[in-house]
């Protein structure tokens, strides 16, 4: 598999949330607003890229029997760095995300990519894998947040994460009388996730059938 294909797989085909079903705990909990989604998404991207690169660089030096504890120490250090940066420069975001920033340490996406990819591939490939998977996670949580925030409040809004008093945009698209408050609850999170995951699965099945039909047509042409 070439590097670009591996990068694109993380966005759609092997999307960590809707394709691999990883990191669902934080995804369902924090996707109540666009601010939360972007904050968590950027934090995961940061940790994914750097952890993949570091683990790839030391993969031949770490004995197999202690590799998982070593990976967790590396990931925990990076998570602590990003947590301290958020606390220092975006305290409102830190209050909103709460315990879910430290829980990135045990996020299945981070540790899963470290074990499945970074420990077996070079630094550049691992960095691209981290970017692709990280962006895939960001797109997943952002899409869920847009749907849930819009249906629950009728408004799409975002504030400056470094200054919560500054509203970057606020657009009412659904009248207040027609909002569905359920989508701000855990049930709404599960329903939104289920619909988006089903949609992605349907798309992948359609693409697979299209590829199979194309391959069959090519085979017939070659046989002639």
Residue by residue, pLDDT tens for the chain (224 residues) are 577 777 778 888 888 898 888 888 888 888 989 998 998 899 999 999 999 999 999 998 988 889 889 999 999 999 999 989 888 888 888 887 877 888 787 778 888 888 888 989 899 999 999 999 999 999 999 999 999 999 999 999 988 877 777 888 899 999 988 999 999 999 999 999 999 999 988 988 888 888 888 877 777 777 66
Asked whether the beta carbons of 15 and 140 are under 8 A apart, the reply is yes
Asked whether the beta carbons of 7 and 52 are under 8 A apart, the reply is no
N residues, the chain: 224
Residue 38: how many other CB atoms lie within 10 Å: 17
Asked whether the beta carbons of 110 and 47 are under 8 A apart, the reply is yes
CA dihedral 75, 76, 80, 82 (to 10 degrees): 20
Give the global pTM.
0.87
């Amino acid at each position: 598999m070439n590097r670009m294909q591996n990068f694109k797989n993380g966005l759609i085909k092997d999307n960590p949330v809707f394709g691999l079903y990883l990191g669902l705990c934080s995804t369902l909990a924090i996707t109540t607003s666009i601010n939360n989604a972007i904050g968590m998404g950027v934090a995961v991207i940061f940790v994914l890229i750097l952890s993949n690169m570091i683990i790839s660089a030391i993969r031949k030096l770490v004995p197999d029997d202690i590799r998982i504890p070593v990976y967790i120490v590396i990931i925990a250090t990076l998570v602590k760095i990003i947590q301290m940066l958020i606390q220092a420069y975006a305290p409102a975001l830190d209050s909103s995300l709460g315990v879910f920033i430290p829980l990135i340490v045990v996020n299945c996406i981070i540790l899963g990519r470290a074990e499945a990819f970074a420990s077996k591939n070079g630094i550049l490939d691992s960095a691209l894998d981290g970017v692709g998977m990280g962006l895939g996670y960001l797109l997943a949580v952002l899409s869920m947040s847009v749907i849930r925030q819009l249906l629950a409040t009728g408004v799409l809004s975002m504030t400056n994460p470094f200054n919560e008093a500054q509203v970057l945009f606020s657009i009412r698209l659904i009248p207040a009388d027609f909002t569905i408050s359920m989508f701000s609850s855990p049930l709404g999170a599960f329903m939104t996730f289920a619909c988006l995951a089903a949609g992605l699965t349907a798309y992948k099945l359609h693409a697979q059938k299209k590829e199979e039909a194309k391959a069959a047509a090519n085979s017939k042409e070659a046989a002639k």
